[in-house]
DNA sequence: CGCATAGTTGAACTCTCTCAACAGCCGTGG
DNA sequence: CCACGGCTGTTGAGAGAGTTCAACTATGCG
């Protein structure tokens, strides 16, 4: 299995979507993933430490085994943009550049697998199905990116938080959400501040839309309402 | 030449970047474009009218010959997000879905060429170089998308406008910029309002960074300053 | 000439940010 | 065992960037 792609990530959810969709080869691609996992190198990353930095050579491709990872970018004055949160099964660090355009850090203690980039390059060159698979994945990523640009450009703070919770719930495929990232991470992901994130979460709690049990546990009480808020209803 | 991709666009600038870059086949892909143009159907689109709407079947792939096109999305309450502006040489309407996820409209009177989607699909299936070419294009698009998410999530209004002008100047490859789109289009592209766009353009004019000759003509007087503002200097 | 559309400018407002204080949790060390 | 410091999260009050509402100008087209 090979992935020579832009600095991008493949969510397990996207992979599942592709399998449900029109691409027969995606199932076969997945079938090879166990063997692939065995070929990769495993690393344990402690909470907060970096897997790679913006500007590093892009020599490896990664997959999250356990824990969670964030990819981010910094402006010169320290403003931060979080590109993505990665959970078990998600690929990251795929790149068509020689150097990293993002930093990747472990949000909590995590285990990752990694493969040398040329292994992926070779596999893609050999198997045209992989190329098509990648195209589909990239298209999915681009579609998600456009949804997020709409969010960042036009949605209010409540709508952003609601959208975020809906997204996270979809990726955990249940109503009980674990949020391993800090409020600051969420803020930088949604273009808000820590305080606003905190305030709006308590507001949603007050409105009986969600339930909060500690900072990391969120339960969706009224999914319809949450989706309604997310879409600006 | 074939392009079965997400709802996305290929800027001529990206194509040029690819040619400068590591892909030898991109030149060959381009070499075939004249022949391709002859095989396509030409249409004249009058200012303001749609080429396709969100939800339409995605049967064709398009290229701008003259004029300019915008792709956009609407929220239920009318808030609009502009995904892209397309200029002569840019492809658009590439899609891996059966239906459109954007609306495409002519910003000014425009001529476009279009090809049935299956023509592109066939060509990509036949030529693995095309697949790789597309991957590179998509990666470029994703990279641009991330830059814009940073812009929408973390940049101030002045920084957004400055970034926009720098981007447009790059795509016209000179300091004299034509802005065929309205202030509302720019606002929906940058996540601002018409009034803010207008105010900040006059502010940049007052600061001698740009020169305005009518609403559509912008000349960059101090490119270094503009780039500095764009990056938050 | 009149109307519609696009752009600019002004003034008031508001959503979110900024600054600040405080609370809760956790690991460390006395 | 508790005290302490550091970090994260919450909450409050004030400030500000950008929006909203509104008036006015300019341009183009019938």
In the 180-219 stretch of chain A, whose C-beta falls under 7 Å of nucleic acid strand C?
Answer: 191-193, 195-196, 214
Helix (H) or strand (E) holding B173: none
* Å between B6 CA and nearest CA of chain A: 4
Give the model confidence (pLDDT) of A158-215 as tens digits. 999 999 999 999 998 788 999 999 999 999 999 999 999 999 999 999 999 999 999 9
Considering only CB atoms, A149 lies closest to which of B136, B140, B152, namely: B152
Q: What is the pLDDT of residue B1?
A: 27
Q: Which stretches of chain A score pLDDT less than 50? A: 1-6, 18-27, 31
Residues listed for chain B: 233
Would you call A34 an interface residue with chain B, using a CB distance cutoff of 8 Å?
no
Q: B19 beta carbon < 7 A from strand C?
A: no
Say whether the CB atom of B33 is under 7 angstroms from strand C: no
**Cβ of B188 and A153 within 8 Å?**
yes
Give the pLDDT of residue A83: 97
pLDDT value of position A37: 76
Of B135, B136, B145, the CB nearest to A142: B145
pLDDT at site A127: 80
pTM of whole model > 0.85? yes
pLDDT (tens, 9 = 90+) of chain B, 233 residues, equals 223 233 677 776 555 554 444 444 444 555 456 667 778 899 999 999 999 999 999 999 999 999 999 999 999 999 999 999 999 999 999 877 889 999 999 999 999 999 999 887 787 778 878 777 878 888 889 999 999 999 999 999 999 999 999 999 999 878 899 999 999 999 999 999 999 999 999 999 999 999 999 999 999 999 999 999 999 98
Find, in chain A, the residue whose alpha carbon is nearest to that of B80.
Answer: A154
| Nearest residue in B to A101, CA atom | B143
- The shortest C-alpha distance from B218 to chain A (Å) reads 24
Give the DSSP H/E element, type plus range, for residue A32: none
Kindly state the percentage of chain A with pLDDT values over 90.
67
Which pLDDT score, from 0 to 100, does residue B33 have?
64
In this complex, which residue's CA is closest to the C1' atom of nucleotide C19? Answer: A195
CB of B111 within 7 Å of some strand C atom = no
Between chain A and chain B, how many beta carbons pairs sit less than 8 Å apart? 132
User: Is B148's Cβ below 8 Å from some Cβ in A?
Assistant: yes
- Which of B117, B145, B233 to probe the A interface (max A CBs under 10 A)? B145
* CA–CA gap between residue B164 and residue B222 (Å, rounded): 15
pLDDT per position as a tens digit, B168-206: 999 987 889 999 999 999 999 999 999 999 999 999 999
Query: CA dist A157 to A30, A168, A231, B204, Å?
Result: 37, 17, 12, 29
- Residue B57 region, left (φ>0) first, then alpha (ψ -120 to 50), else beta? beta
Give yes or no for a contact between A104 and A64, defined as CB atoms under 8 angstroms apart: no
Instruction: Quickly count: other Cβ atoms within 10 Å of residue A53's Cβ.
Output: 12
Strand C within 7 A of B162 CB: no
């Amino acid at each position: 299995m090979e992935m020579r792609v832009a600095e991008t990530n493949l969510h397990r959810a996207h992979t599942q979507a592709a399998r449900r969709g029109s691409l027969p080869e995606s199932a076969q691609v997945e079938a090879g993933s166990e063997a692939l996992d065995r070929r990769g190198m495993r690393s344990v990353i402690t909470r907060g430490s970096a897997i790679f930095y913006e500007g590093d050579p892009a020599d490896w491709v990664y997959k999250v085994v356990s824990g969670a990872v964030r990819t981010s970018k910094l402006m010169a004055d320290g403003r931060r943009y979080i590109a993505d949160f990665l959970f078990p099964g998600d690929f990251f660090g795929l790149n068509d550049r020689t150097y990293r355009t993002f930093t990747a850090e472990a949000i909590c203690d995590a285990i990752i697998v990694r493969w040398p980039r040329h292994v992926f390059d070779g596999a893609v060159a050999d198997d045209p199905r992989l190329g098509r698979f990648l195209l589909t994945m990239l298209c999915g990523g681009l579609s998600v990116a456009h949804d997020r640009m709409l969010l960042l450009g036009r949605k209010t703070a409540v709508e952003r938080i609601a959208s975020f919770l809906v997204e996270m719930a979809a990726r955990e495929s249940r109503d009980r959400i674990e949020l391993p990232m800090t409020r600051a991470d969420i803020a930088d992901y949604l273009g808000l501040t820590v305080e606003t994130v905190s305030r709006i979460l308590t507001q949603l709690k007050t409105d009986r839309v969600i339930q909060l049990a500690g900072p990391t546990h969120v339960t969706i009480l009224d999914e319809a309402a949450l989706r309604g808020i997310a879409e600006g209803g």
